[in-house]
Structure 1
């Protein structure tokens, strides 16, 4: 994997992280930035770049899918008025039931 591919992956993963954490302004800055200037770390010091240089294409695909799934879940939590980080480990079904004041004791 060359530096250009690593840069694109870093940028994409950083964008997903910003969206997951609910930081749309930061996400927009990452999305629209040109060159390596969006990243707070220098190329030599960036742990994400070093980590991704060792990834296989399959691992990169898995990581991308994981971030996308996390984003979809945190978006759903926020739409329901819940803090996604307070509800770690609860399923979407649990949260839906809770949001409607229901109980899982049938």
Structure 2
């Protein structure tokens, strides 16, 4: 089996180079993980954002429900080519 060597990767978030050590590569291989895309600092930040439950601050957009006419907000900007439902109608499955 070929000797595993340290590899320099570029973080997809901050653009900085980081070293993926041979030991880390072995661990990732044992766990069947893909190669890391972020440096350690950015991984910690991304995990903290994910663990907070809301992914950080999220923009909301006001809508008028296409089903019942209620005012609500949604976490995406409606394109205007399709009706958007309020939370209640969406949960009820009134589509």
> TM-score, normalised to structure 2's length?
0.30
Give 1 or 2 for the bigger CA radius of gyration: 2
Answer 1 or 2: higher relative contact order, Cα 8 Å, separation at least 6. Answer: 1
- Which is richer in strand? 2
TM norm structure 1: 0.28
Question: By percentage of residues, which structure has more helix?
Answer: 1
